[in-house]
Amino acid sequence: MLNMGGPSTVAETHDFLKNLFSDGDLIPLPFQKQLAPWIARRRTPQIEQQYEDIGGGSPILHYTQVQGEGMAKLLDELHPETAPHKAYVAFRYARPLTEETARQLKADGVTRAIAFTQYPQYSCSTTGSSLNELFKRGKAGELGQLEWSVIDRWGTHPGFIEAVAQNIEAALSKFPESTRSETVLLFSAHSLPMSVVNRGDPYVLEVSASVAAVMQRLGHSNPYRLVWQSQVGPSAWMGMQTGDALKGLARQGKKQVVLVPIAFTSDHIETLYELDLEYAKEAREHGVEVHRAESLNDSPVFIRALADIAAQHLRDLAAGKGPVSVQLGLRCPGCTNATCGQQKAWFARGGR
């Protein structure tokens, strides 16, 4: 289960940021080796305070473990031919890091593995970075004799869409029935730098497809927009920004909003701090009642969706389909990172 991870305790914040700013697939920096530790050190106090304010750390490891254990158990029933199944967590910037998990896979004598991204929608800066890291470890012989296949995206899977829709319905039910249909659904996803969007990264399109599928499932019961949050640094990022959108809606006299995180499957500072503590609070000061749809976290509907995605993948493999999706094979038209090409070829050969 591939994801970026987060600091489980406030004390782990610095190492998390150092790993994050050292990742050239996420943030390409000149003199990255020297600059990354410097930026991380400077940014640590502010981000530590945010993790402090949301209860002392990121819950992502806890929820990924709950999701993984639930998924593996269901998968034993859904696809007994390949049982027993076991979920391993491989985070990009926090423990357990990919290198730790690689050692564990080797020690356990695992021979067959699925690299299952936990980002619903594909971006080279998220899933692409995790796959590049796994590829580098594999090429260096750190993974043992493993045969790999990849689940690279699942942003319109009906089980995922159903789980999100149910959480929206629960949030909507907090508004009076008489005015419920006037509530604006404000889908919010982590933004991307325009430099990434403009090289042909598929994330913005795939997040939009998720939103369209959720709205179809809801029978277009409410007006909606997709907006973008958490941009960092001075460069241009995908907009409109979530905070500005809330202010604009307030100015236009909207009184009820449901905020919907759509590109991340468990709580993190972006939901618990930015959406709940910053934006929702500010909107309330402007007279807007805001409720947030819960993150998927330990949703049984979502855990069943993960198991269903994995089971379908295993059935496809048994039916002779290749180890990677057709779509994974296509690099961004503007991609100049040679590792991306090597990584895709390596996974297409089953990790050999």
Ligand X SMILES: C=CC1=C(C)c2cc3[nH]c(cc4nc(cc5[nH]c(cc1n2)c(C)c5CCC(=O)O)C(CCC(=O)O)=C4C)c(C)c3C=C
Residues of this chain that bind ligand X (CB under 6 A): 4, 6, 20, 26-27, 43, 47, 58, 60, 119, 123, 125-126, 190, 192-193, 196, 203, 232, 263-264, 268-270
String marking each residue 38-57 x if it binds Fe ion according to CB under 5 A: --------------------
**Which of the following is catalytic: 85, 157, 190, 268?**
157
Residue 215 interacts, among ligand X, Fe ion, none and using kind-specific CB cut-offs from 5 to 8 Å, with none
In angstroms, give the least distance from the CB of 163 to ligand X.
17
State yes or no: residue 335 binds Fe ion (CB under 5 A): yes
Taking a C-beta distance cutoff of 8 angstroms, is the pair 78, 281 a contact?
A: no
| Residue 220 annotated in active site | no
Length of the chain: 352
Could you tell me the smallest distance in angstroms from the CB atom of residue 85 to ligand X? 26
Binding mask 100-129 for Fe ion (x = CB under 5 A): ------------------------x-----
335 touches, from ligand X, Fe ion, none (C-beta below 5 to 8 Å by class): Fe ion
Of residues 275, 269, 276, 312, the one with CA closest to residue 49: 269
**Measured between alpha carbons, how far apart are the two ends of the chain, in Å?**
20
DSSP single-letter state for residue 229:
E
Whether 157 is catalytic: yes
The Cα–Cα gap between 156 and 322 comes to: 21
The one of Fe ion, ligand X, none whose footprint includes residue 263, by CB under 5 to 8 A per kind, is ligand X
Q: What angle is formed at CA 22 by the lines to CA 201 and CA 120, rounded to 5 degrees?
A: 35
**Residue 82 near Fe ion by CB under 5 A:** no
Task: Return the number of the residue (301 or 335) whose C-beta is nearest Fe ion.
Answer: 335
Long-range Cβ pairs for the range 240-244 (8 Å, 24+): 241/191, 242/186, 242/188, 242/274, 242/275, 242/279, 243/278, 243/279, 243/282
Q: How far is the CB of 336 from Fe ion (least distance, A)?
A: 8
Tell me the closest approach of the beta carbon of residue 352 to ligand X, in angstroms: 29
Q: Which does 340 bind (CB under 5 to 8 A by kind): Fe ion, ligand X, none?
A: Fe ion
Q: Whole-number minimum distance, CB 242 to ligand X, in Å?
A: 13
> Residue 123 binds which one of Fe ion, ligand X, none, with CB within 5 to 8 A depending on kind?
ligand X
| CA–CA gap between residue 76 and residue 86 (Å, rounded) | 9
Choose from Fe ion, ligand X, none: what does 236 bind? Cβ within 5-8 Å by kind.
Answer: none
27 touches Fe ion (CB under 5 A): no
* Eight-state DSSP code of residue 125: T
The tally of CA atoms less than 13 A away on the side-chain side of residue 338 is 0
User: Count of H helices and E strands in the chain?
Assistant: 13, 8
Identify the helix (H) or strand (E) that includes residue 289: strand 289-292
131 binds Fe ion (CB under 5 A): no
Alpha carbon dihedral 203, 150, 295, 50, in 10-degree steps, equals -80
**Residues that are catalytic:** 157, 308
Q: Using CB under 5 A, list all residues that contact Fe ion.
A: 124, 335, 337, 340
